Chains A and B, each alone.
Chain A
Amino acid sequence: MVTLTIDGKVIEAEEGMMVLDVATAHNIYIPALCAHESVSPYGACRLCLVEVKTGSGRERLVTSCLYPVEEGLEVKTNTERVRRNRQTIIDLLLARCPESEVIQDMARQLGVEKTSYPQEDHGSCILCALCVRACEEVVGVSAISLVNRGVEREMAIPFYDDSNACIGCGSCAYICPTGAIKMEDSGDTRTITMPGNVIEFKLAKCSVCGDYFAPEKQLEYMARKASLEPDFFDRCINCRD
């Protein structure tokens, strides 16, 4: 256990934990878009920036999602310098995704009413890679990745047309902070809409009640992973024992 202060509050935390997680656990708000408890931290959005001073006196700006707690660490989450940086960052995101309500809300919260830069239109994707990380670390199929480099970076399925590895579980839609990925179930079809691709999946029918409940591909994957018969999962959540 180590003792540190966040905005003057003295806190005890387990070694190895990140400042952001510790702050959140103690109801101290630090804005963040690319962090999520179920995947590893990435450090792409830079909004979770905080000022820290180590026990030995070293001062710097760090992203709290990736900075491990230390004995004697002094953390300041909302200094003038931190606020200025967050404002520019959200301003840049707002210029990139002017239609995104989530970004608009956060911008307003951080004091940016409208963007200072020429607007583009990247839908709502902010390249936070939460979808990619969820697909790789939680689901384990790595169906999507970030492709190209720099200003042309985007989230895509391989070759923009290969959805073989995708099992239609919708974890990406669930974890996306801005709603850039949408999932919709209608009748016997699930449609996942990603920036640049629309993928459809045939839903399996519950053998008891007849409701369509999950993509066949997802159920097959789960069965394969558990070394069970491919049609093992044939009941919806309501009809299971």
Chain B
Amino acid sequence: MTAGLEHVREAVGAILERYQHDRGSLVAILQDTQAELGYLAREALVEISTGLDVPMSRVYGVATFFRAFSLTPRGRHTVNVCLGTACHVRGAVRILETIERETGIKAGETSEDLRFSLETVNCVGACALGPIMIVDGKYSGEITVDKVKPLLSMYK
């Protein structure tokens, strides 16, 4: 769902206040904005540029540099696959490929019906459980290829 302009302006305004319009806090401001709105709506970035008196090109450059930020609406469910070295040596790639096949999207994408957003992450520090799949913050460890489809079907 895309954000309404009033809502965006209010949310961003509050965040800018919290950081006292400090330019150095741009990354943190973008993070809080994304947490609040679900993604970095264009209107939000414009507000931030104006509010901080930072050129739009710089705000846009920072927003597109960091993996934490999404400039498009995210899916209802976020699927994270750990591709840390420990998980890799335990076969995480096959898990990712299976998820890509089942959802029809690649890592970094959101499905057209906005059901899933798929991300890869480098080490969540639960290496004893690898390979790991995290859906909406819920960890499923020692995942095998055959467990993927049943797990995904639980999320509408």
Contacts and interface: CB of A to CB of B under 8 A. Distances in A.
Chain A–chain B contact at Cβ < 8 A = yes
A145 B61 contact: yes
Contacts, number: 38
A143 B64 contact: no
Q: Is the interface of B mostly helix, strand, loop or mixed?
A: helix
A145 B59 CA distance: 9
A87 B42 CA distance: 42
Nearest to B66: A149
Q: Give chain B's interface residue range (CB within 8 Å of chain A).
A: 10 to 19
Contact of A148 (B42, B45, B59, B64): B64
Interface string A125-168: 00000001000100001111111110000000111001011000
Contact of A158 (B56, B66, B67): B56
A162 B67 CA distance: 22
Contact of A157 (B42, B57, B58, B66): B57
Contact of A165 (B56, B65, B66): B56
B108 to A, nearest CB: 11
A142 B60 contact: no
A146 B56 contact: no
Contacts of A145: 55, 57-58, 60-61
Most buried by B among A144, A145, A148: A145
Interface of A: 132, 136, 141-149, 157-159, 162, 164-165
Interface of B: 42, 45, 55-61, 64-67
22 contacts: A136-B55, A141-B55, A142-B55, A142-B57, A142-B58, A144-B57, A145-B58, A145-B60, A145-B61, A146-B61, A147-B64, A147-B65, A148-B64, A149-B65, A149-B66, A149-B67, A157-B57, A158-B45, A158-B57, A158-B59, A159-B60, A164-B56
